[in-house]
Amino acid sequence: TARCKSCGLMISRDIEAIEEHMIECIGSNSRKSIAISTSYPKSPNNRPKSMLFDGNTLTSGVNNMKLYGITRKPELEKYGTRIIYRTARSQSKVYAPREVCALQDAFMDNDGTCYIYEVSVRHCDVRGMPGYVTADILLLMHVAKPHPTNPNMCNITIISQIDTRVQGPQWLLSFITEESNGLGNNITSLRKEDLIRELKQCGNLQDILNDDTSNPDSESKVNLDDFDLLAVLGRGGFGKVMQVRHRLTNEVYAMKILKKTELRRRRQVERTHTERTILAAVRHPFIVCLHYAFQNSTKLYMVMDFVQGGDFFTLMRKFKRLPEDWVRLYVAEIALALQHLHDMEIVYRDLKPENILLDSDGHIKLTDFGLSRYFETRPPATEDIVGEENDILTRSFCGTEQYMSPEMLLQQGHNYRMDWWCLGLLMHEMITSKHPFQGPSHYDTLRNMVTKAPNIDNRITTSAHAVVKNFLIKNPKTRLCCKDGINELK
């Protein structure tokens, strides 16, 4: 809900309901009534006189020659002008909340370039709220230039200059460069909806953001404001993972926040795109699910299952040797997840304890698909389809060396069969807490993986010994589960 500034009533945030209320609320009050019927291009009817709350943004549009002392050029009169009022409040009581009042205008150049800009104003009908510190927008401009070859796309340039009136605090400065950290709407940036509306009205640029903005059920509607940020779960070189709660559903998720600059600098853009594509395509009880994905100018956000049981590496370090009954369950669940990926022509390639999570019920979930190969999105080259069975190979060298298969270490080309080798290594480590090819050095371990038979602990049961041995066959075609899939494991 939003509070009406004239009568104080709480109103639903549905725009139509708010406009109807505001017409009734201030339509008969001559002092507060503003000539704000805005003329929109390509529209037969002007919008009704109104003042609009869009979230916590107050807007009004005018088409008269003077906007409270600001003279407009006649040629600009066919474009909409508004007074925008925004607020932002910190979760900390130490810092006073901020408010911004700005004039928003839009016009088009002769070449079709559309300009939407905001500058701070002092508006006679927008009264400051008690306890709020006023910040000024010296200039905020979005310039949308039509794409030279695609009329349905454009290039957007954003120019921003803000006077915060303070050297801090950090939560306010974060509105300029960082995510809003759960503080509400960014007080110094145009709303995406405003930008889309203005560009649609002012020009023939229907797909300026290259997504389905007309579909109310589109995931593009989800943004950071839809989540409460609860805690930091971990940090890394590319960003961080946070525990968040969806405000509408109260569901708790894990949000991976990645810095675009770091992804580009470390050449991880393709890896991140691969992970996002696979997670969006896969739905399986033993694989982490991607629920939402969105981005802003500086960061990528992936909202996934919050798996609160920790990772398998921590479990193995705590218990050392796991009971075989546990191992039987974990191996079965991992095998089901791998089989599902293979059925979708996905080679996982990074099976290791750190990439296996445990949920609250003790079941596993595979995560981190950045090194996976998805043949549907990247078909193999002709020379990578070999043999009478038309085996599809990929020749990348990636992953963690001590969990690689011999064919990858020797760079002979590999496919889904390498995942079953990795499962055999992992199974042996679960039961014995030792690598089956362990040598005195890392190099010796890798050499043993290529040249020697596995050193399987004699203390494990006969059935477990047979499974590990058949997983760790160096010939991929005779390896367990490499002919008839998971049926061979039953």
pLDDT of residue 424: 96
Confidence check: pLDDT of 263 > 70: yes
392 by DSSP, 3-state: which?
strand
- Higher-pLDDT residue of 42 and 27 is 27
* Same-domain check for residues 57 and 181: yes
Q: What is the CATH number of the domain that holds 441?
A: 1.10.510.10
Rounded mean pLDDT, 92-97: 62
pLDDT of residue 35: 28
- Burial of residue 231 (number of CB atoms within 10 Å: 0-12, 13-18, 19+): exposed
Task: In whole angstroms, give the CA distance from residue 100 to residue 95.
Answer: 16
pLDDT confidence band for 421 (50 / 70 / 90):
very high
**Buried/exposed code over 55-70 (b: 16+ C-beta within 10 A; e: otherwise):** ebbbbbbbbeeebeee
* Same-domain check for residues 271 and 367: no
- With the CA atoms of 326, 331, 336 and 337 taken in that order, what torsion angle do they form, in degrees rounded to the nearest 10? 100
Q: What is the CATH number of the domain that holds 149?
A: 3.30.530
* Same-domain check for residues 90 and 184: yes
DSSP string, 24-52: HHHTT-TTT--------TT-SSPPPS--E
Q: State the CB neighbour count (10 A cutoff) for residue 28.
A: 9
Number of domains in the chain: 3
Confidence check: pLDDT of 312 > 90: yes
Of 424, 420, 418, whose CA–CA distance to 460 is shortest?
Answer: 424
Which amino acid is residue 463, in one-letter code? S
Q: What is the CATH number of the domain that holds 290?
A: 3.30.200.20
Q: What strands, in cross-sheet order, belong to the sheet with 290-295?
A: 227-235, 239-246, 252-259, 299-305, 290-295
Most confident of 17-26, 109-118, 190-199: 109-118
pLDDT digits 0-9 by tens, 344-378: 889 999 999 999 999 989 999 999 998 999 887 77
In the chain, % of residues over pLDDT 90? 36
How many helices, marked H, and strands, marked E, lie in the chain?
11, 24
pLDDT of residue 128: 67
**In this predicted structure, which of 170-179, 244-253, 292-301, 455-464 has the lowest mean pLDDT?**
170-179
pLDDT of residue 399: 87
Q: What is the model's pTM?
A: 0.56
* Same-domain check for residues 39 and 183: yes
Do you find a cis peptide bond into 216, omega within 30 degrees of 0? Answer: no
Task: In whole angstroms, give the CA distance from residue 421 to residue 472.
Answer: 5
Confidence check: pLDDT of 317 > 70: yes
* Same-domain check for residues 392 and 243: no
pLDDT of residue 130: 72
Active site residue 359: no
Confidence check: pLDDT of 314 > 50: yes
Rounded mean pLDDT, 101-121: 77
* Same-domain check for residues 470 and 402: yes
In the chain, % of residues over pLDDT 70? 67
Task: Supply the Cα-derived Rg of the chain in whole angstroms.
Answer: 29
* Same-domain check for residues 65 and 144: yes
Task: Return the beta strands (E) in 78-205 as ranges.
Answer: 81-88, 98-108, 114-120, 133-134, 136-146, 154-163
Structural tokens at position 404: 């690689």
Rounded mean pLDDT, 434-453: 94
pLDDT of residue 94: 55
Question: With contact defined as beta carbons under 8 Å apart, do 178 and 124 qualify?
Answer: no
Most confident of 1-10, 68-77, 247-256: 247-256
Structural tokens at position 410: 């020797």
Mean residue pLDDT across the chain: 75
pLDDT of residue 165: 40
pLDDT of residue 367: 93
Single out the catalytic residue among 111, 350, 359, 419. Answer: 350
**Buried/exposed code over 363-386 (b: 16+ C-beta within 10 A; e: otherwise):** ebbbbbbbbbbbbeeeebeeeeee
Most confident of 205-209, 270-274, 385-389: 270-274
pLDDT of residue 430: 95
For every residue of 208-241, which 3-state class applies, written as one string? CCCCCCCCCCCHHHCCHHHEEEEEEEEECCCEEE
Looking at 186, 217, 248, the residue that finishes a domain is 217
* Same-domain check for residues 481 and 454: yes
Task: In whole angstroms, give the CA distance from residue 310 to residue 363.
Answer: 11
Task: In whole angstroms, give the CA distance from residue 204 to residue 200.
Answer: 6
pLDDT of residue 46: 30
* Full residue range of the structural domain in which residue 482 is found: 312-489
Question: With contact defined as beta carbons under 8 Å apart, do 215 and 232 qualify?
Answer: no
Looking at 253, 285, 305, the residue that finishes a domain is 305
Of 203, 196, 194, whose CA–CA distance to 104 is shortest?
Answer: 194
* Same-domain check for residues 161 and 265: no
Structural tokens at position 105: 């205008």
Rounded mean pLDDT, 46-63: 32
Most confident of 8-22, 48-62, 394-408: 394-408
Structural tokens at position 154: 């454009």
Confidence check: pLDDT of 426 > 80: yes
* Same-domain check for residues 111 and 211: yes
pLDDT digits 0-9 by tens, 179-227: 333 333 444 455 555 555 555 554 443 333 333 433 333 444 788 889 9
Q: How far apart are the first and last CA of the chain?
A: 56
* Same-domain check for residues 301 and 317: no
Confidence check: pLDDT of 259 > 60: yes
pLDDT digits 0-9 by tens, 63-79: 333 333 344 455 555 55
Confidence check: pLDDT of 110 > 50: yes
256 known member of a binding site: yes
Confidence check: pLDDT of 27 > 90: no
Q: Which helix (H) or strand (E) element contains residue 3? A: strand 2-3
Looking at 198, 217, 236, the residue that finishes a domain is 217
- Higher-pLDDT residue of 353 and 388 is 353
pLDDT of residue 379: 78
Which amino acid is residue 473, in one-letter code? I
Rounded mean pLDDT, 282-309: 92
Task: In whole angstroms, give the CA distance from residue 31 to residue 18.
Answer: 20
* Same-domain check for residues 268 and 413: no
